[in-house]
Amino acid sequence: MPHSLGSAFDWQNGCVEMRHGSGGRASAQLIEELFIPAFNNAWLGQGNDGTVLPPPAPGHRLVMTTDAHVVSPLFFPGGDIGCLAVHGTVNDVVMMGAQPLWLSAGFILEEGLLLNELRDIVHSMSQAARSAGVAIVCGDTKVVERGKGDGLYIAMTGVGQLAESTSAPAGDRAQPGDAILISGTLGDHGIAILTQREGLQFDTPIQSDTAALNGLVAELQTAGIDLHVLRDPTRGGLATTLNEIARQSGVGILLDEASIPIQPAVAAACEFMGLDPLYIANEGKMVVICAPEHAATALRIMQSHPLGKQAAIIGRVIDDRHRFIQLQTRMGGQRLVDWLNGDPLPRIC
Amino acid sequence: MPHSLGSAFDWQNGCVEMRHGSGGRASAQLIEELFIPAFNNAWLGQGNDGTVLPPPAPGHRLVMTTDAHVVSPLFFPGGDIGCLAVHGTVNDVVMMGAQPLWLSAGFILEEGLLLNELRDIVHSMSQAARSAGVAIVCGDTKVVERGKGDGLYIAMTGVGQLAESTSAPAGDRAQPGDAILISGTLGDHGIAILTQREGLQFDTPIQSDTAALNGLVAELQTAGIDLHVLRDPTRGGLATTLNEIARQSGVGILLDEASIPIQPAVAAACEFMGLDPLYIANEGKMVVICAPEHAATALRIMQSHPLGKQAAIIGRVIDDRHRFIQLQTRMGGQRLVDWLNGDPLPRIC
């Protein structure tokens, strides 16, 4: 840049000020000193109101998805709001069977946020995007007065491409007889956030499972498995996700409690706090629903991947005009698993 | 929908509660009772993690842009945060010379927001999107506790298509000799917000100019005018926008104060409050920079359009290695017009 915009920011001790959201000199400086070097791609540096991108590959449709991230606290065991936003958005594109390509980032900063926290979060986003093979190509920053936010919120939109020929996974494609798989243990993210928030200590620290699932899904697709439904059980947990699918597909679901993987530390924390892990958010897990004859192959592929080591077949789709989710309990009984009601764990993502 | 999700919302007296952002039953109900009927398009109703969209037309690239909207107050003379978000996002796509197609909406709601205010804002978004010929195809809703937001914030991303053959407008294409046009009066939006915020009364009520500019730009493109630069002077106003362009293009700019259109009521309000209209945000205006031989045609086309009636040629691009913006004042003097410093009018958009 030929002309300097102003005196250097104090990245160590400085705070976000209202002028950083003014659209004037301080905004431009924030973009040039933080966002452009961190996200580091040719598209972001264009310096215009938007970004010009190549079209999807021939024979591909577009996929678009969006998420606002308001997780509290901003930093938690296993991650922070920055990588969480990238993973969550990438996963929503991936759950459509699509390849994620481009992300946009809208920041709502609270006056007084430490600049070094903002920098750490932006670097975490950049690292997460690079690992997932996507680029953050456009952004916007607004600042609200102290007491009108909570550090920062990040809104993210993802755009990807989906081959015309792909029989795309969708919530209405579950069929009676289909197998239901989960890619790993349930409840890690929600319980990691909650223990951090409440200052609880357990013998085994619980880490968020936040991760991008595009590599894992690509391996299933490459193997030619027809993925009827893919869904990441985030807010509302596995219970709500399966209720959504049952409703969309007009089917019932039968789950086997003993086969649902849960870390002992998470199970203990849930028992201690009176929470049901079926309702706790995950940020690096997915539900796979496929024909029963593909289930063993899908399971083997998932278990061979670092993000699917503890994958399991946890139930099957059944014919049920009531669209109920039934759980066969360890005790041999059966109970209905309803949608999440109320919100026991707000601001989990 | 075959199964009802829960008891009806009280749209008249009810408030946003934490459970509306839980991802569970109340979230689903909000989507089905408010967002899907209001935005009313086939893509939004797919009910999956993302939306499958057709690719851009053959021979077109993609354009992507994003904006977070935090304007305060939520309702102001001439508009509200909902239509403002749609107009602002559409305009950012349009300023790239592209045709806007798809929008995403991320809502961050504060617990306690009146449901009828949310409904009015969503309907305003819907109306603005329909008028501009774009569809809101995906969304997300989060709720933060009372005191951690300010009613609601809306993050919006726009995707559009840009013909490969189009010589797209860009901030680095201003050339010495080019004419500079503005599509109408300056400062209307910022002053409308400020008078509402401060409870000021003027004889002539000042309305925001919030509007989508795609129709106006399409007419200039159809006439075959090579638009070197298009930019909407929002935050930071005309002064900051022209400084950005001068910096990107490596040129200077000479403005003629007498030719810059400003409503008398806005000029009076600025004088009363000690503000310079060159720095006040606009939300339905644009700067056009084109070759001098196209300026008269461009002006005639703009003046024939409802959103460009008061368009004017306000200056020209000059050779200047300092990249200064100089204003020839009404008094016959000359002064430099710097970037916006600080933020006299926060949360204007």
Residue among A70, A102, A240 minimizing CB distance to B23: A240
User: How far, in Å, CA of A143 to CA of A113, rounded?
Assistant: 10
C-beta of residue B340 within 8 angstroms of C-beta of residue A25: yes
User: Angle B41-B129-B211 (CA atoms, 0-180°, nearest 5)?
Assistant: 175
Q: Can you tell me the distance from the alpha carbon of A80 to that of A349, in angstroms, rounded to the nearest whole number?
A: 10
Cα gap B152→A149, rounded to integer Å = 11
Contact B24 A236 (CB under 8 A): yes
| CA–CA separation, A158 and A104 (whole Å) | 7
| A94, A100 contact by CB (below 8 A) | yes
The DSSP-derived string for A61-108 is EEEEEEEEE--SSSEETTEEHHHHHHHHHHHHHHTTTPEEEEEEEEEE
Task: State which H helix or E strand residue B127 sits in.
Answer: helix B115-132
Q: Are B161 and B98 in contact (CB under 8 A)?
A: yes
Return the pLDDT at B2.
Answer: 34
Pick from B46, B66, B107: which is nearest to A157 by CB? B66
The amino acid present at B239, given as its one-letter code, is A
3-state secondary structure at position B164: coil
Taking the CA of residue B215 and the nearest CA in chain A, the distance in Å comes to: 18
CA dist B121 → B66, B128, B256, B317 (Å): 19, 11, 39, 41
CB A179 within 8 A of CB A286: no
Do the beta carbons of residue A185 and residue A286 sit within 8 Å?
no
Structure tokens at A338: 């309803």
Q: Which residue of A has its CA nearest to B57?
A: A55
How far is B116 from chain A, CA to nearest CA, in Å? 21
Closest CA to B234 of B283, B188, B200: B283
Neighbours of A146 (CB within 10 A): 12
- Residue B61's SS3 state is strand
Residue A73: asked if its preceding bond is cis (omega within 30°), the reply is yes
Contact A162, B52 (CB under 8 A): yes
A20-34, A40-54, A193-207, A266-280: which is most confident:
A266-280
SS3 of residue B139 by DSSP? strand
The nearest alpha carbon in chain B to A107 belongs to B68
**A47, A138, A341 member nearest B66 (Cβ):** A138
Structure tokens given for A169: 């996974």
Q: Smallest Cα–Cα separation from B158: which of A211, A66, A233, A303?
A: A66
Q: Determine the pLDDT at residue A200.
A: 82
Residues of chain B with pLDDT under 70: 1-6
Cα–Cα distance between A320 and A246 in angstroms, integer? 9
Q: Provide the β-strand partners of residue A336.
A: A326
* Nearest to A164, CA basis, from A60, A317, A68: A60
Q: What is the pLDDT of residue A201?
A: 80
pLDDT at B23: 85
Cross-chain Cβ contact B68/A155 below 8 Å? yes
B-chain residues near A171 (CB < 8 A): 47-48
Candidates A17, A19, A22, A87: best to mutate against B (most CBs of B within 10 A) is A22
Structure tokens at A187: 């409840």
Answer yes or no: do B70 and A142 touch at CB < 8 A. yes
Give me the residue from B47, B69, B138 closest to A65, CB to CB.
B138
The answer to whether the peptide bond before residue B73 is cis (omega within 30 degrees of 0) is yes
Q: Which two tokens stand for residue A303?
A: 């278990």
pLDDT of residue B1: 36
- With CB atoms and an 8 Å threshold, state whether A159 touches B62: yes
Q: Is B85 exposed, middle or buried (0-12, 13-18, 19+ CB in 10 A)?
A: buried
Please answer yes or no on whether B106 and A67 come within 8 Å at the CB atom: yes
- Asked if B45 has any chain A CB less than 8 Å from its own CB, the reply is no
SS (H, E, C) A198-224: HCCCCCCCCCCCCCCCHHHHHHHHHCC
Interface list for A 228-257 with B (CB within 8 A): 231-232, 234-236, 240, 244, 247-248, 250
Distances (CA, A) of A217 to A78, A221, A285, A310: 22, 6, 11, 15
Average pLDDT, whole number, for chain A?
A: 94
- Alpha carbons A252 and A239: distance in angstroms, whole number: 13
Q: For position B49, what pLDDT does the model report?
A: 79
Strand partners, A323: none
Helix (H, G, I), strand (E, B) or coil at A153: strand
Residue B21 one-letter amino acid: G
Contact (CB, 8 A) for A64 and A96: no
* Residue B6 confidence (pLDDT): 62
pLDDT at B5: 58
pLDDT of residue B167: 83
What lies within 8 Å, CB to CB, of A167 at 6+ separation is A226
User: What pLDDT score was predicted for residue A239?
Assistant: 97
Dist. CA A120–CA A132, nearest whole Å: 18
- Angle subtended by helix axes A188-198 and A264-273, to nearest 10: 50
State the pLDDT at residue A62. 97
Tokens of B247: 């910096």
Q: Which amino acid is at A303?
A: Q
Contact A151, B106 (CB under 8 A): no
pLDDT band at A2 (very low <50, low <70, confident <90, very high): very low
Q: Does the distance separating the beta carbons of B104 and A157 come in below 8 Å?
A: yes
In this complex, the residue of B91, B168, B244 whose CB is nearest that of residue A52 is B168
Q: Work out the average pLDDT over A106-116.
A: 97
Percent of chain A past pLDDT 90, that is, above it, reads 85
With CB atoms and an 8 Å threshold, state whether A50 touches B155.
no
Decide: pTM greater than 0.90. Answer: yes
Per-residue pLDDT tens digits for B265-275: 999 999 999 99
